Amino acid sequence: MSHRILVPETSAPDMFLPMQGRSDIVLVRFGPKVSTSEFRALLGQVNAAILGVTPFADPELDAAPMLKAVARVGVGYDAIDVPALTRRKIPLLITGTANSVSVAEQALAFMFAFAKRLNELHTLVVERRWSDRLSCFPTDLGGKRVLIVGFGRIGSRMAKRCVAMEMDTRVYDPLITQDYVRAVGATPVPDLDQALGEADYVSIHCPKDASTINLFDAARLARMKKGAVLINTARGGIVNEAALAQALTSGHLSGAGLDVLESEPPEQGNPLVGLPNVILAPHLAGVTWEAWNRMARSAMQNVLDVLDGRPNREHTVNPQVYDAR
């Protein structure tokens, strides 16, 4: 018996390593410009689907009567209707820690860029303003206070790296035990608003859900320490972009490093685009070459495990489907 798996044409090379030596796997590929009707027609042929950012809900599931598993090449699943999958007893699988290091490193890169004033110092040299260099002092990260919001797969790795750099590392996450935070050398804080007023850097690593949408609104941004830097490598919508732009243009905050935006790519007129104290990236923090391959390989392995009857529950968003089968 063969299994037909829908995969993106743009998949990383390592995606296909887990299926080496297997003659029971047939790949069905879809391109980035596939139409909705073509995509749904392909779904009617497959037993599993591996997705990037393709939206997936009831209409797609209605078109896929043989579907047994859906896997994301990544850890976010904003575009997927999880309840719709759960009603049909179909698991949604994500790639665990495959990109956690990569995102943590990107958050650190934003911190370094602001502390060491990389853009400004580069401009001084290019514009032949060498003599102005003493007007543009970099700062140390060692000894500065960083507040990490969210202590999951990425936030915990971020904390370890900040502690290693001798930063005063504080963590806000009401869902984890304080001992877990202390174990990596960081300090848990119970009150987000109070902690914001004392942090030189704030790095967001919490999931996007009903409790975190607009978490950093105008009032909360105003509670941040004057001159602080805000970094978001989590999800757009956690930070109110209009309020952030105001905090940056007023001088209350000195900078923001953003890998994610509420609308991606940003809409015309987004107030953050073009601000000199904002560094933007196109939602690529978790997509280094190494992470891209790790995520692809993990996504394929997740699907094969389900098809083979030994699903990875730790990677499953809705593990209750296994018990309901």
pLDDT in tens, 140-182: 999 999 999 999 999 999 999 999 999 999 999 999 999 999 9
> Alpha helices of the chain — where are they, by DSSP H?
36-43, 58-62, 82-87, 100-115, 118-126, 153-164, 178-182, 192-196, 218-222, 241-249, 289-307, 320-324
Report whether pLDDT(267) > 90. yes
pLDDT for position 10:
92
- Three-state DSSP state, 223: coil
Is residue 205 among the annotated active site residues?
Answer: no
Query: In the chain, what are the domains?
Result: 3-96+289-324 (3.40.50.720), 100-280 (3.40.50.720)
Is residue 262 among the annotated active site residues?
Answer: no
Across residues 302-313, what is the average pLDDT? 97
pLDDT for position 252:
98
pTM for the model: 0.89
Q: Which of 145, 235, 294, 297 is catalytic?
A: 235
pLDDT for position 76:
84
Show Cβ contacts of residue 133 under 8 Å, excluding neighbours closer than 6 positions.
Answer: 121, 124
Give the whole-number percent of the chain exceeding pLDDT 70: 100
Across residues 279-305, what is the average pLDDT? 97
Across residues 21-26, what is the average pLDDT? 96
Adjacency order of strands within the sheet including 3-8: 25-30, 3-8, 48-51, 69-72, 92-93
Q: What is the pLDDT of residues 105-121, one digit of tens each?
A: 999 999 999 999 999 99
> Residue 215 — pLDDT band, cuts 50, 70, 90?
very high
pLDDT for position 53:
85
Report whether pLDDT(26) > 90. yes
> Residue 183 — pLDDT band, cuts 50, 70, 90?
very high
Q: What is the pLDDT of residues 63-94, one digit of tens each?
A: 999 999 999 999 888 889 999 999 999 999 99
Q: Which of 9, 264, 267, 314 is catalytic?
A: 264
Report whether pLDDT(325) > 70. no
Lowest mean pLDDT among 70-79, 236-245, 288-297: 70-79
Q: Which of 283, 294, 297, 315 is catalytic?
A: 283
Is residue 290 among the annotated active site residues?
Answer: no
